[in-house]
Amino acid sequence: MLSREENELLTQTDVGSPAGKYFRRFWLPALLASEVPTPDCPPVRIRLFGEDLIAFRDTNGQVGLLEEACPHRRASLFWGRNEECGLRCVYHGWKFDVNGICVDIPNEPQEYRLESKVRTVAYPTRVYGGLVWVYMGPPELRPELPKLEWARVPESHRYISKRLQETNYLQAIEGGIDSSHSNFLHASLDAFRLTDSYVEKVKNSDNLRAKYHLLDKAPWFTVKKTDYGLVIAVRRKAEEDRYYWRLTQFLVPSHTIIPYQSGHSIHGHCWVPRDDQSCWVWTMSWNPNAPLSENDWGMIRDETFVHARVDPVTFKSVRNKENNYKVDREQQRTSTMTGIHGFASQDQAIQESMLPIVDRTRERLGTSDTAIIAMRRLLLQEIRELAQAHEPFAAQHADVYWVRSASLLLKRDVEFEEGARDLMKAEV
């Protein structure tokens, strides 16, 4: 469990908060590049860390991210005209470039040169991996972009989705690194009950997850602290002389790479606080070696795995709290644990059911929650160290993010660090 003080320290990320200050030391995804597809296209709203912002792509193709409220009379720049290398407020014509510099104040006498005295809040952006990234920390500490493999593969090898989740970011990360819940939340009833027909179906499967993950519901957990975060290693019994290992990468402040099997696509997430009660869920699927396959695209279209369909304006999930995630109770009764379609919606439903901010003073944790405990302790340590003026190492060392997850079989006397060493190296 956490104390109230610790829970607040971790979950409060708005302006001025210690955790918010920590997150702002990193480049983070802000919006899909396709949300601002062309020069001078309409501006879009985006909320990050409790700040309401406007993104726009100027005439030169550069993306600006400005405070939504015009510094003149606080009118929204969402209604602004994006033209001639700037965004012009339609209330009184004040115009700002991508750096937040005011370049025109037409309603004041020109000889006053008032625009030279006016700036609005603006954050630097970069387009990388199909996303617009933002850095909201001290300008003099601006780092390089993290060397994430999914951001470096060709566009045809990657798919990214974005959705709004109405929870604090922390319980979303916890869902992402907790390996044991998938034995239940994401399971079919046959898998949960280990019916004879299910066991017969998976026992000779090439899919290691299908074969071993669901046959041993009491995995053994271990964690390893790294330069970039954590490796969360979960071991399940396989054949008599082997273990099945699933190695999840947690990369600070809030990225994960889900264990994958060689030859298959890789998946991961990044969670970015929108405010204390909501977060952006970024989900990536990529193949380092080839364009995404028809099978990959099928799973994306059918929402069976990590992606979910969203409203194109709000990015709210089509399956949401208001419609009970379109639960099918008959399906729940007869074939799946939840009756909710797709892993992403199942995760969202259960995480949103925990209330926007989980009261972690009331938890009853066990040793199977080791990964969650480790992640919380790591983030608390980093947040507190930053408060003591110790900068987070990973933020300033982009190369440490160049890793992969893994899942593999190893002989029982082989440590996972040794056995999976080469598999966990990124290549692109």
Partner 1 sequence: MRAIPAATVLTFPWRLPAIRGAARARSRSCYGVAMELDAPSGVPLSEVNPNHIVPVTNFSADTLWSIIAHMEVSTDFEHLVYREAELDAIWSITGFFLVTEPNSSQLEAVRQLRAGAHKAHDLVADRRPAEAAVVLRSFL
Chain residues in the site for partner 1 (CB under 8 A): 1, 3, 6, 180, 184, 192, 217-225, 363-370, 373-374, 377-378, 381
Q: How far is the CB of 374 from partner 1 (least distance, A)?
A: 4
Phi, psi of 350 (to 5 degrees): -70, -35
Q: How far is the CB of 11 from partner 1 (least distance, A)?
A: 17
Phi, psi of 331 (to 5 degrees): -65, -40
Proportion of the chain in helix, strand, coil states, percent, rounded to 5: 30, 25, 40
Closer to partner 1 by CB, 218 or 313: give it. Answer: 218
Phi, psi of 351 (to 5 degrees): -70, -40
Report the candidate in 289, 284, 261, 259 with the shortest Cα–Cα distance to residue 271. 284
Residues in the chain: 428
Closer to partner 1 by CB, 164 or 420: give it. Answer: 420
Q: How far is the CB of 394 from partner 1 (least distance, A)?
A: 15
The type of residue at 184 is F
Q: Among all chains, which residue has been given the structure tokens 């907790």?
A: 178
Cβ within 8 Å of residue 20, ≥6 positions away: 12, 13, 14, 49, 50, 273
Q: How far is the CB of 336 from partner 1 (least distance, A)?
A: 15
Q: How far is the CB of 216 from partner 1 (least distance, A)?
A: 8
R_g over Cα of the chain: 23
Closer to partner 1 by CB, 38 or 367: give it. Answer: 367
253 three-state secondary structure:
coil
What is d(CA 152, CA 136) in angstroms, rounded to the nearest whole number?
A: 22
| Structure token pair of residue 44 | 């879009």
Report the candidate in 413, 405, 422, 415 with the shortest Cα–Cα distance to residue 208. 405
Cβ within 8 Å of residue 414, ≥6 positions away: none
Q: How far is the CB of 235 from partner 1 (least distance, A)?
A: 12
Closer to partner 1 by CB, 76 or 332: give it. Answer: 332
419 three-state secondary structure:
helix
Closer to partner 1 by CB, 220 or 402: give it. Answer: 220
Closer to partner 1 by CB, 102 or 378: give it. Answer: 378
Closer to partner 1 by CB, 311 or 363: give it. Answer: 363
Q: How far is the CB of 6 from partner 1 (least distance, A)?
A: 8
Closer to partner 1 by CB, 119 or 237: give it. Answer: 237
Q: How far is the CB of 217 from partner 1 (least distance, A)?
A: 5
Give the single-character DSSP code of 119: B
